[in-house]
Amino acid sequence: MIEFQALADKYDTPLYLYDFNHLAQQYTRLKEAFRARKSLICYAVKANSNLSVIKHFANLGAGCDCVSIGEVKRALYAGVPNYKIIFSGVGKRDEEIKEALEKDILLINVESEAELNRVEIQAAELNKQARISIRVNPNIDPQTHPYISTGLHENKFGVDLDTAKRLYIFAKNSDFLDPVGIHFHIGSQLTQLEPIKEASAIVADLVRSLQTLDIDIKFFDVGGGLGIRYDDETLIEPYDYAQAILSTLTGLDVTIMCEPGRFLTANSGYFLTRVLYEKTNGDKRFVIVDGGMNDLIRPSLYNAYHKIEIIGKAEDEETSECDVVGPVCESGDFFAKNIRLPLTRHNDLLVIHSAGAYCATMSSNYNTRGRVAEVAVEDGKDRLIRRRESFEDMIALEKDYLKD
Ligand code: LLP
């Protein structure tokens, strides 16, 4: 039981809370599911990049999937060993590639022919061999929200099968490239097993055909994407997920890698916000809270559902329909529309659930609102893992450039 009220009183609102015991449980569930094989779970840092969250996973043995050199450095700073870090992403600057090579991370995941050429040039300059994987786009519909679908040719990610094969041959013949991995990721918040299995089978076949060309793939990276329950979604069990993937790999001696973000963190996180006041415009009721879309943008951006709970109200209290909105100057600044809540008072506490993934990381300073504090709860104890941003923090990068 997390003491929401006491923690809101102690740390003030708006606030992110993360249940570190739950983070560990999720990691262990997934790791156990793959126990029949060598596996490396590379936590997708973009979901929640707080250093303490990354360190928590590192302590459990996880690696990290990063999409910028900034994320790579975060992972290293938090104690993830370089040989467990992979660097993905559809566009990488030369400097980022170079730094990744210097830091000798496990794999650079390449998403196009042009990128492969840039990696080769950088590696040659450093007189190194770049360990790479190639992201294959298997053209599979993951049956998820179009904004987070990535495995179709119409999406910008990866290369098609024929191009992948050609790039592997090119890499094998290069002195500066070492093609040891293969990668796919078809989308996020996946709740159907079949598309993953289909994609895995297609990519496994490619690995077999590469073997006949003497190209030996050691790391089979199935990306992230495992869905979680925001509302009443039916979920893929980690065991079934692992079995579906393993069933496509007969005869292949590969280490399985996966890159979960949401599955590991989403339901460990809570966003706490207090009611400022209520108002009605005509018949329309609004509950105005102190958190806004700059703190948690998923409802505004994807129309995403996040369960909202009011603390300290009796279950049988009379409710009426309302929108829960923030103070930001946008009509899109809402956490929920047309939900039923009891009448609220100034300072009532609302808990927004499933806020551990893509919430704090997607926050901004819009409207010069400081990023909120983050707190870890573990074994009944709480600790600050990011302090609240101050006004001074927000102007720090500009104030020295003011002209008369
Ligand atoms: N690997 C790659 C290559 C990815 O692109 C992603 C997510 C992941 C792993 C982690 O996926 P996960 O296990 O978390 O589903 N902002 C959106 C989600 C964007 C996901 C982008 N890529 C949201 O709030 O729903």
Q: Is 66 a catalytic residue?
A: no
Pocket of ligand 1 (CB under 6 A): 44, 47, 65, 88, 148, 150, 185, 188-189, 223-226, 259-263, 298, 357-358
- Ordered by where they begin, the domains of the chain are 4-15+267-395 (2.40.37.10), 34-260 (3.20.20.10)
Considering the entire predicted model, what is its pTM?
0.96
Cα 172 to averaged position of ligand 1 atoms, centre (Å) = 30
The string of pLDDT tens digits covering residues 372-392 is 999 999 999 999 999 999 999
> How far is it, in rounded angstroms, from Cα 73 to Cα 75?
5
* Closest CA to ligand 1's atom 5: 185
* Res 338 pLDDT > 80: yes
* Res 282 pLDDT > 70: yes
* Closest CA to ligand 1's atom 16: 358
Mutate to test the pocket of ligand 1, among 29, 45, 46 (most ligand atoms within 8 A of CB): 46
What residue spans of 179-297 are helical by DSSP H?
A: 193-211, 238-246, 262-265
Cα 276 to averaged position of ligand 1 atoms, centre (Å) = 33
Cα 229 to averaged position of ligand 1 atoms, centre (Å) = 16
Of the listed 42, 64, 258, 329, which one is catalytic?
A: 329
* Res 148 pLDDT > 80: no
> How far is it, in rounded angstroms, from Cα 304 to Cα 34?
30
* Closest CA to ligand 1's atom 8: 224
The pLDDT > 90 percentage for the chain reads 93
* Residues contacting residue 254 through CB under 8 Å, at least 6 positions apart: 207, 217, 218, 219, 220
- Name the burial class of residue 253, with classes exposed (0-12), middle (13-18) and buried (19+) by CB atoms within 10 angstroms of its CB: exposed
Average pLDDT, stretch 105-128? Answer: 97
Mutate to test the pocket of ligand 1, among 108, 262, 364 (most ligand atoms within 8 A of CB): 262
Say whether 252 sits in a helix, a strand or coil: coil
The string of pLDDT tens digits covering residues 68-83 is 999 999 999 999 999 9
The ligand 1 atom nearest the CA atom of 263: 13
> How far is it, in rounded angstroms, from Cα 182 to Cα 219?
6
Cα 261 to averaged position of ligand 1 atoms, centre (Å) = 6
What mean pLDDT value characterizes the chain?
Answer: 96
Name the DSSP letter for residue 153.
Answer: T
pLDDT of amino acid 97: 98
